[in-house]
Amino acid sequence: MPEFTAITPTALADLIAARAADLPGHAVVAIDGADAADPVPLARAVAERLRTGGRPAAVVSLHDYVRPASLRLEYDPTDEFTYRTAWFDYAALRREVLVALREQDRWLPALWDERADRSARARHRGAAPDTVLLVAGPMLLGRDLDFDLTVALRMSEGALRRRTPPADQFTVAAVLAHQADPDILVAWDHPDRPAVRA
């Protein structure tokens, strides 16, 4: 069993920022967490610390890389397998964020507007030297995405079910089935009182 150490949310953001700041050149950090874990605010807190320390940083939400509703909902809008395999466009994330940053010094902040179900019409952004992008969202790990640092906000099934709206309960099984070992593992059942294995 991994040993966890209690940590404050502020200290956790500091820890991730310190690890990210040590990465050379352009870097991409995964903050993997179910929607119930709300990983985007943590990613933003880390990005803010990096920018304060002089390192360019920005956040990409995986929900800005969903596939069109016609594909997400083609078979069953509440199927956990579809959610795990067809909901998000991980291939586009690889192409437009990871590869584009490292090979073209640019990146696309959003691909698809989930609410309007149309192209996000975002433009590529140029990347300053040593830019760190933090990608936040569910089921990022274990997909052959070449992240430089990985963080997982891990929640128990009970916590996931308590914090997931009734209409989205089908996602819990998918999140639990798709877990991989990160560089920094965070026990996140109580986000105000996390614990970390790093």
Beta bridge partners of 118: 113
pLDDT at 1: 52
Contact in structure between 184 and 2 (CB atoms under 8 Å): no
Contact in structure between 119 and 113 (CB atoms under 8 Å): yes
Number of domains the chain is built from: 1
Cβ-Cβ contacts under 8 Å for 167 (sequence gap 6 or more)? none
Q: Output the domain CATH number for residue 41.
A: 3.40.50.300
Which structural domain range is residue 163 located in?
5-197
Contact in structure between 147 and 135 (CB atoms under 8 Å): yes
What is the per-residue pLDDT across 106-119, written as a single tens digit (0 to 9) for each?
999 999 998 898 99
What is the phi/psi pair of residue 185, to 5°? -105, 130
What is the per-residue pLDDT across 152-186, written as a single tens digit (0 to 9) for each?
999 999 999 999 999 999 999 999 999 999 999 99
